[in-house]
């Protein structure tokens, strides 16, 4: 499962991908495997940095009880998305939250994406619920607050635009965290803490092709109203900022 097999060096980032699900597939035959599984998507997104940092990534299926060995150091642990909800409180989710708290207390750095954003927030006391505003899917955006721009040392006059596919939200900000920004659909679009944790509700690892496939699944399995699917497809032509974003995520975390 290791993407690279090189000695750790100043230009090598050791990444543990804590995988919380397998790629979404439909009984109708629309398989996301054509775009790679989640671990491939995350590895490619982090590897798109312009530092340049090479990425040595190892995957752990935490939903099956797999975790990094205690004697192995990882620069960053990235928690993936999932079709499950944090509120399901499955045994593996409870274990993961305990693991997050224990390792973060020792200084472990984290990136959380979608479900990963939500379970990181939950691990530190936030509630996650089904979004009363419904699905946020396809290309969506939110403004980055001035405070966050100062912390990230960026000047960004436009809204940050990413791909999305979620219907759950974090409802409150954990103690010690700062909100990255928000919009009418999801007020907490990401969180940062102490140059150690960076979370995003959106999916910077996704491509347009992945979203097209997800929208097919949503439509064919009637997971959302057809109006939602139609409007979402119209927004897929908009450009996104995920490649610009990875450098700033890594810089915030000290790389």
Distance of alpha carbon 71 from alpha carbon 156, whole angstroms: 40
List the catalytic residue out of 205, 213, 219, 248. 205
Annotated active-site residue 114? The verdict is yes
Q: Which of 114, 144, 120, 138 minimizes the C-alpha distance to 244?
A: 144
Distance of alpha carbon 217 from alpha carbon 25, whole angstroms: 8
Give Cα separations from 20 to 14, 62, 136, 207 (angstroms). 19, 6, 20, 19
Element (H, E) at 37: none
List the catalytic residue out of 30, 117, 203, 248. 203
List the catalytic residue out of 20, 43, 114, 219. 114
Residue with tokens 């944790």: 197
Give Cα separations from 180 to 24, 156, 199, 222 (angstroms). 27, 13, 8, 32
Distance of alpha carbon 160 from alpha carbon 100, whole angstroms: 27
| Per-residue DSSP letter, 33 | G
Q: Which of 35, 18, 17, 12 minimizes the C-alpha distance to 208?
A: 35
List, by residue number, the catalytic residues.
Answer: 114, 203, 205
């Amino acid at each position: 499962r290791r993407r690279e097999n090189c000695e750790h060096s100043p230009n090598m980032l050791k990444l543990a991908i804590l995988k919380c699900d397998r790629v979404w597939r439909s009984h109708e035959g629309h398989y996301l495997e054509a775009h790679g599984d989640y671990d491939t998507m995350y590895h490619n997104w982090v590897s798109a940095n312009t530092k340049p940092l090479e990425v040595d990534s190892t995957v752990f299926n935490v939903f099956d009880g797999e975790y990094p060995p205690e004697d192995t150091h990882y620069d960053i642990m990235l928690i993936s998305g999932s079709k499950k909800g944090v509120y399901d409180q499955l045994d593996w989710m409870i274990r993961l939250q305990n693991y997050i708290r224990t390792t973060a207390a020792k200084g472990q750095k984290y990136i959380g994406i979608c479900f990963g954003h939500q379970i990181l927030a939950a691990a530190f006391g936030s509630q996650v619920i089904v979004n009363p505003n419904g699905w946020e899917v396809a290309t969506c955006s939110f403004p980055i607050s001035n405070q966050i721009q100062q912390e990230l040392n960026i000047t960004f006059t436009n809204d940050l635009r990413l791909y999305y596919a979620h219907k759950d939200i974090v409802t409150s900000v954990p103690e010690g965290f700062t909100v990255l920004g928000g919009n009418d659909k999801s007020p907490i679009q990401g969180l940062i803490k102490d140059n150690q944790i960076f979370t995003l509700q959106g999916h910077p690892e996704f491509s347009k092709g992945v979203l097209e496939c997800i929208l097919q699944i949503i439509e064919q399995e009637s997971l959302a109203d057809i109006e939602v699917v139609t409007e979402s497809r119209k927004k897929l032509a908009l450009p996104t900022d995920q490649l610009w974003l990875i450098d700033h995520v890594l810089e915030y975390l000290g790389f």
